[in-house]
Chains A and B, each alone.
Chain A
Amino acid sequence: MKLNRRKFIGTTAAASALLAAPMAIGSGHGRAKVVVIGGGAGGATAARYIAKDSNGEIDVTLVEPTRTYYTCFFSNLYIGGFREIDSIAHSYGTLASEYGVNVIHDWAISVDRDAKTVTLAGGSALSYDKLILSPGIDFVDGAVPGWDLNSQNAMPHAYKAGSQTELLKAQIEAMPEGGTFAMVAPPNPFRCPPGPYERVSMVAHRLRDINPTAKIIVADPKEKFSKMALFQEGWADNYSGMIDWIGADFGGGNVEVDPHAMTVSIDGEVTSVDACNVIPAMKAGRIAEMAGVTDGNWAPVNANDMSSKMDENVYVLGDATSQGDMPKSGFSANSQAKVCANSVRGALTGSSVFPARYSNTCWSLIDTDNGVKVGATYEATEEKIAKVDGFISATGESVDLRAATYRESVGWYDGITADMFG
């Protein structure tokens, strides 16, 4: 079905919800220009919404180095054997052909906020009226002693999906009978709070099938984690005796790895491992820091429109931000992108700006047809994005409800990827 998306532009908007939108015109050089850096959950959504809703009035350029975006969401399901890698791969063709987004496959290497230009690795410069940064995460140097990016083949992070995820899965499948898989989990705040624990579940699922005497050790610098009761119940019920989770109170934060020797030292005790997933502490994607919009590891933003606290012409989305109560998830980045798109359009074309509303739901798969979820709605306050209401799956839910929850997550995956890429 083809929709007439533009039909309602220009009709009067609900008086109850209107905020005054100041009219600002692109800087006198024809169409207003928006540059989006990063074509992930935040950036692709923002580019698509601005292009789709602006009736051709805004020139949207998306800068993204990779031609194929592998979603981190559902990459754990690939590790567990529930998805093929191709099913989590997306291209930018529709954004370009259907929505007129100018997609440039290159790295942004610097931002000049005074001149309002972005320089690309290929040498060219792009000027903007509004810049949107959604570069995701990078890792904090030295976060896990013994590990750096050069070790990512021996001990993959698989926290940016694609070849890293394939590598990790292959290493897990190549483990000797009864071998050991270790995960070094990250400290807060980090991308996808339930992500490491869903991954542990999926690794256990795969090993139970192909290597049932294998062991899983998780060294965690935290004392508790997202959906902890649900995961621990699931691990006890489905992977009994396989998973040893070592939290902060048992020295899980005192970790060192040796990627050559393939050993992991936890609280002084050295263990030989056959596969090891190191997920280091995270910070905003480097370009945010280079643009000078970070404070510490993250980029602070205003809750009402995701604009940077450092620069009203720069917006930051998704994992790279510090915004308040929302978890760093693809759902959150997508939700923030739509608020930002509405505001950017309003600023550049005078279209109606409606009040921000944010939400998030994160599903995790524990075992076949055993899905759980957690979610919340949020509002913008002066200070931050603040949680309004929320829910979480309960322990002891029926098999049918868990299966229905998993089916929903599959539906959501198709929904959010259609919302990002068209």
Chain B
Amino acid sequence: MRRIFLTTLLSLGFASQVTAEAGGNAERGEALFRQCAGCHQVGEGAEHRIGPSLNGVFDRSAGAAEGFRYSNAMERTATGGLVWTYESLDTFIENPRNLVSGTRMSFRGIANQKDRDDLLAYLRLFSASPANIPEAAPTAKGLDHDFDPEILAISGDPAYGEYLSNECTTCHLLSGNDNGIPSITNWPVEDFVIALHAYKNAKRLHPVMQMMAGRLSNEEIAALAAYFKSLDQ
């Protein structure tokens, strides 16, 4: 079962040009890590708890900590090639469902960029050679978080969404079954919008969905979200 976990508009607040800088304050990050510590350990002797140990997470493939059982959603994402870089971690911690809609990490995310920078600076201390961690090139896709909270305020037209959905139902079953392609019915509108924008912005890696979302406008994404949500009743 997917966790349905409503986000506030604010937790999506990567409105402006946000570049993930490495210059965070690790000391402050340590204090911020308390938000994670209920589920994760990091540092000497860290073990898997509710979440996997976060030692060596930088540059590791997602879903790859030995001996930890990840959710199917995380495994699917990992198979798609997601690697934990500064940038992808930043996106994940901002809101885990940016990258993995059905993740078992029930955590609403950290909206504040400075907080994320500091936290990541702290986590970096526990990866093999933090000095050598490559910075994402300035041109790398996804650095421009063009996701504006206003996007969520667009109210989608379900009739147009229904027409657009015709393109989706060649693969996604309207019955809501997942026979190899994930279910997309009955999602909270926010999660749906977040997921499609993540493909559109190439933060999620799947080539089919990047292509499908790549040509959807913000209004079209909103219309689709409204339509698929409307199947609920």
Contacts and interface: CB of A to CB of B under 8 A. Distances in A.
B102 interface: no
A335 B180 contact: no
B169 A3 contact: no
A375 B219 contact: no
Interface of B: 76, 79-81, 157-160, 162-164, 166-167, 169-181, 185, 207-208, 210-212, 214-215, 217, 219-220, 223, 227, 230-231, 233
A224 interface: no
Max chain A C-beta neighbours (<10 A), residue from B159, B175, B185: B159
A4 interface: yes
Interface in A329-372: 331, 334-335, 338, 342, 352, 354, 357, 359, 361
B160 A416 contact: no
Contacts of B180: 407-412, 414
Given A14-B159, A17-B160, 16 more contacts: A1-B231, A8-B227, A16-B217, A335-B170, A354-B163, A389-B211, A398-B79, A401-B81, A404-B79, A404-B80, A410-B179, A411-B180, A414-B173, A415-B179, A418-B174, A418-B175
Interface residues of A, number: 47
A375 B80 contact: no
A194 B214 CA distance: 25
A12 interface: yes
Given A401-B79, A411-B179, A331 B157 contact: no
Given A414-B179, A416-B170, A12 B231 contact: no
Given A14-B160, A338-B166, A412 B171 contact: yes
Contacts of B185: 1
B223 A359 contact: no
A361 B178 contact: no
B47 to A, nearest CB: 26
A11 interface: yes
A415 B211 contact: no
A14 B220 CA distance: 9
Interface in A390-422: 390-391, 398, 400-401, 403-404, 407-412, 414-416, 418-419
Contact of A8 (B159, B172, B211, B215): B159
User: Which 8 A/B pairs are nearest by Cβ-Cβ distance?
Assistant: A411-B180, A411-B181, A14-B160, A391-B207, A410-B180, A338-B166, A407-B180, A14-B157
A159 B64 CA distance: 43
B220 to A, nearest CB: 8
Interface of A: 1, 3-4, 7-9, 11-14, 16-17, 49, 331, 334-335, 338, 342, 352, 354, 357, 359, 361, 373, 375-377, 388-391, 398, 400-401, 403-404, 407-412, 414-416, 418-419
Nearest to B182: A411
Contacts of A14: 157, 159-160, 219, 223
Contact of B159 (A352, A357, A373, A418): A352
Contact of B212 (A334, A377, A408, A414): A377
B60 to A, nearest CB: 15
A13 B162 CA distance: 10
Contacts of A390: 211
A361 B208 contact: yes
Contact of A412 (B79, B181, B217): B181
A67 B175 CA distance: 25
B170 A412 contact: yes
B211 A16 contact: no
B212 A415 contact: no
Contacts of B80: 401, 404
Contacts of B212: 359, 377
Contacts of B167: 335, 338, 357, 359
B181 to A, nearest CB: 3
B181 A12 contact: no
A366 to B, nearest CB: 17
Contact of A11 (B81, B159, B217): B159
A4 B232 CA distance: 9
Contacts of B175: 1, 418
A387 B27 CA distance: 52
Nearest to A14: B160
Contacts of A408: 171, 180-181, 208
Contacts of B81: 401
B163 A342 contact: yes
Contacts of A4: 233
Nearest to A373: B208
24 contacts: A1-B185, A8-B162, A12-B159, A14-B223, A16-B217, A334-B170, A342-B166, A352-B163, A354-B160, A354-B163, A354-B164, A357-B215, A375-B208, A388-B215, A389-B214, A391-B207, A401-B80, A403-B79, A407-B180, A410-B180, A412-B181, A415-B170, A415-B172, A418-B175
Nearest to A3: B231
Nearest to A390: B211
A16 B223 CA distance: 12
Given A16-B219, A357-B167, A415-B169, A11 B231 contact: no
A361 B157 CA distance: 27
Max chain A C-beta neighbours (<10 A), residue from B176, B185, B211, B230: B211
A303 to B, nearest CB: 16
Contacts of B230: 7-8
